[in-house]
Amino acid sequence: MSNNEEGYFIDSDGLDTVREQEIGQHIGYRYDVNLVPDLKYITPFLQKYIDKMGWKDLNWLEDVHMGYEEDRAAVFDRNINGWVTIPDTIDLPNNQQERDMIARELLIKFQMSEGHPIVDLNNAYSKFKYW
Is residue 47 a contact point for other proteins (CB under 8 A)?
no
Residue 10 CB, shortest distance to other proteins, in Å, is 17
Three-class DSSP labels, the chain: CHHHCCCHHHHCCCCCCHHHHHHCCCCCCCCCCCCCCCHHHCCHHHHHHHHHHCCCCCHHHHHCCEEEECCEEEEEECCCCEEEECCCCCCCCCCHHHHHHHHHHHHHHHHCCCCCHHHHHHHHHCCCCCC
Binding mask 87-126 for other proteins (x = CB under 8 A): x--x---------------x-xxxxxxxxxxxx--x---x
Residues in contact with other proteins by the rule CB under 8 A:
2-3, 5, 19, 23, 25, 27-29, 33-39, 48-49, 52-57, 59-63, 78, 82, 87, 90, 106, 108-119, 122, 126, 128-131
